[in-house]
A and B are shown apart, each in its own frame.
Chain A
């Protein structure tokens, strides 16, 4: 953590004075940051364009923090954060609390028998499973009439775009409200993180398992990405899927989710950004009143292992009933790295639009792919991760041709300086992209919250452009030579394999219209 801070100081010192200083100055006037007594950071950006506001709550815990044998737990908790509180979504919390404890006791008793390696009593297992389900039915009686009460309140009060996400690095919650509902929002969101209740946990777990089936199990690219990521990281938790392994999803408990919350949803590890028609002078006291109720808790142990250098190429090849895909990734340092902006420049050069090198080489000139790009952030970027390249082969072209064409472009990057024109284009685009990102409450709340959380200073959003402005041709060659080497590479391929003949349906009854 210390070395990260040093980079930040370096950025502050060399802050340049180009056109963005103007935007930065305008945002300085409109942004208020306050760290509450419990450690929670609040950032308010006044943007009185219309009487609405958006919020983004950033929690510095993602699936990397999932405990052993409980993958998917960070994401599972995110689902549970929509289940209400001790006051929202129950007819009698005291009674419900006891009933929920009985569910947990029954589930623990069931698991103890289910996971016995020898001498499992099947009869007893059935009884315990039934007892667990009976306990769930009892607990549901307290909440069933108020299913989704939290979401119902938000929606009926005019909430827009209510959602949340979990990735490897962090968890986020967001929606927008009319601007006269700042206090209602502060009440709801503080309640949500003050006293979440793990009600209807095991049904929601089934919902999450369906999410896994949809995104991963039943989708060839989902299957490829899971296998590829697993192969790419030997030591770091990036090798585990955010959605969770099926066994873990069928094993972790509401008690586990509550523990995860207690440990990681610590105010000092949370940033709340509010953007829109709000006055900091009015909103901050309201936010302070409600969110100061969250108890200060010690920051969790954030130690994770660092992925050791990869010593040889790794390959995963999936034989699927679907058309081929080529993917490869190279280990790179985390986003605090001084070379982060160089990787951003490489992404832009290789992937951005029809002037990008990969588009021009694979799609326009060789005409072997329908799409190709290279980018950072697989599977996350808070920790050392992958710079990945992919190509989608056109019919009749093989994954190996994609590899060869991508490698030719990588070699060019290592051996030749990029042109003045290309470098200028990268820098111009990074400035324009920043401007384009400033025009919505949702986008601003997300970016300001994210940069405040990551760098402890939202101004880094603007300084990221300065950092790209400083990237030189030499930087690009140096970083390409360091990173894009075969031993540092993991390859993921989908090869087409026809379905087994007996399964291939040949019955022909096309749905013809007409008969009504």
Chain B
């Protein structure tokens, strides 16, 4: 592992020779770049307890701090649609609801006196509980972490507060146009009821009970479902002994399976959300992307960098710099760890250039075939990825995070090194191939959130338009007091 990583750095000083690709004088190429000196990123120790809990210990003695995080399999995508929002409530009340011995408020006082944190949260495929403290407080704070992991109480008063917060978020979800666009674009790419796209409603939040939270905890929080990572200023042998003592006798539990998820992208076409209080349109061209397990992932990474990544990308150079049409523009073939990401081209532009901008994005897509991404663009994209590669593991915490990700999603633990080698091998032909394979304008949905009365041309000039109604379904009676949110 160490040797591979050192080898990875050799090439970094090979880049930047004085090959003059274009007509500029390029004096910066005369600035010497010495070899990068050897670097042995610290590797965490991986321990598997007999009950299946996977532990990574990563020493970092720079500062007197210790952080730990347990990631637990199972998340929002396993929640029935009728209880959408359960994971958000669980993720909050797990902590605020306290333990059997102490209320959440008591934990707040106890931890804040030590400037320490124990927090919980929920996501699409997992939930987490973490702690962060000064080294001197590790024993005090770890006790809270352990008690909360094993004995949460989910007190009812905190469930009410969490639900009210959710109702508030639902009532505000149409206030900002970029939030509307992101949400509706996901529904178009994944299907409106798909767990990666759906959003909680008043009724689904109201349907969540304390028993649901308790049941969730009993179903998922078992040692064999947990990956625990600790980083900081500790003695690894003592920390290992401590964790073995804390969790070694915790019995194994069933390992719930993730449900099968259907992906049902919307019928390709034009979709419109009318928003009368804006002077800028949010535009998305979307469809399904792919996963990182796909052997095309490396060519896709180079393509994305060249097409819609940073300052150097085509979308930025053409749409923003040359045309001045947008501040925010970007896109690419989205990839996720264990399900398809979203293929997206995104921009926001003044209402008066809405249709012009859609056509500009169309042109970028058409150009991929007419003017394929060339050698200069490929080299720049690969250089950008490879020369900045070190920032993926330039701190012990980042190395730990990477390893935990691979462990969670079942990727090889040397995925990062393999990634680098694979990127080096990507050719112009590979990039042209993935562009042709994944970017199909006729399979995309075009979403516009904007003020139609100001558009340069009616949206119908690019084809038939489906209007999306984003009216928030009314709350069941009685859940929000007398008045409720204003619509």
Contacts and interface: CB of A to CB of B under 8 A. Distances in A.
A130 interface: no
A355 B108 contact: yes
Contact of B114 (A89, A207, A428, A500): A428
A303 interface: no
B146 to A, nearest CB: 20
Contact of B384 (A156, A181, A208, A500): A156
Contact of B271 (A213, A496, A508, A511): A511
B469 A509 contact: yes
B349 A210 contact: yes
20 contacts: A87-B24, A91-B24, A187-B28, A203-B321, A209-B350, A210-B280, A217-B279, A217-B280, A320-B277, A395-B485, A396-B485, A432-B116, A504-B276, A507-B467, A509-B468, A510-B468, A511-B187, A511-B468, A513-B265, A514-B264
B260 interface: no
Closest 6 pairs between A and B when the two form their complex, measured CB to CB: A158-B387, A151-B311, A513-B264, A513-B191, A432-B115, A206-B324
Interface of A: 49-52, 82, 87-91, 144-149, 151-160, 162, 176, 178-181, 183-184, 187-188, 191, 200, 202-211, 213-214, 217-221, 320-323, 352-355, 363-364, 367, 370, 392, 394-396, 421, 424-425, 428-429, 431-433, 435-436, 438-440, 496, 498-500, 503-516
A183 B16 CA distance: 13
Contacts of B96: 354
B460 interface: no
B39 A50 contact: yes
B176 interface: yes
B466 A509 contact: yes
Contact of B65 (A49, A146, A435): A435
A322 B376 CA distance: 47
Interface string B471-487: 00001000011111111
A2 B172 CA distance: 48
Contacts of B39: 50-51
Interface stretch (B30-38, B83-91, B244-252, B334-342): B30-38
A507 B390 CA distance: 52
A448 B36 CA distance: 26
B18 to A, nearest CB: 13
Contacts of A353: 108, 112
A91 B26 CA distance: 10
Given A207-B324, A355-B108, A323 B380 contact: no
Given A50-B39, A396-B485, A148 B33 contact: no
Given A148-B321, A200-B321, A323-B172, A431 B388 contact: no
Q: Which of A155, A322, A425 has the most CB of B within 10 A?
A: A155
B188 interface: yes
A180 B469 contact: no
A421 B486 contact: no
Contacts of A144: 322
A429 B115 contact: yes
Contacts of B415: none
Contact of A160 (B35, B380, B391): B391
B31 A187 contact: yes
Q: Which of B160, B167, B310 has the most CB of A within 10 A?
A: B310
B274 interface: yes
Given A220-B277, A510-B469, A88 B28 contact: yes
B115 A210 contact: no
B471 to A, nearest CB: 8
B328 interface: yes
B442 to A, nearest CB: 11
Contacts of A496: 486
Interface stretch (B49-57, B68-76, B312-320, B359-367): B312-320
Contacts of A208: 327
Nearest to B479: A395
B169 interface: yes
Contacts of A49: 62, 394-395
A52 B348 CA distance: 34
A214 B178 contact: yes
Nearest to A505: B274
Contacts of B443: 516
Contact of B322 (A203, A217, A424): A203
Interface in B258-278: 264-268, 271, 274, 276-278
B33 A180 contact: yes
A414 B105 CA distance: 25
B466 A511 contact: yes
Interface in B377-405: 379-380, 383-384, 386-391, 393-395
A275 B453 CA distance: 51
Interface string B436-448: 0000000101000
A211 to B, nearest CB: 4
B390 A157 contact: no
Contacts of B324: 202-207
B325 interface: yes
Q: Which of B274, B387, B480 has the most CB of A within 10 A?
A: B387
Given A184-B31, A370-B165, A147 B322 contact: yes
A275 B348 CA distance: 36
Given A155-B311, A218-B280, A321-B277, A512 B172 contact: no
A396 to B, nearest CB: 4
A508 B22 CA distance: 54
A47 B202 CA distance: 50
A507 B322 CA distance: 38
A366 to B, nearest CB: 11
A180 B323 CA distance: 36
Given A155-B384, A180-B12, A431-B115, A394 B164 contact: yes
A213 B387 contact: no
B194 interface: yes
A10 to B, nearest CB: 27
A51 B194 CA distance: 43
Given A213-B280, A217-B280, A396 B481 contact: yes
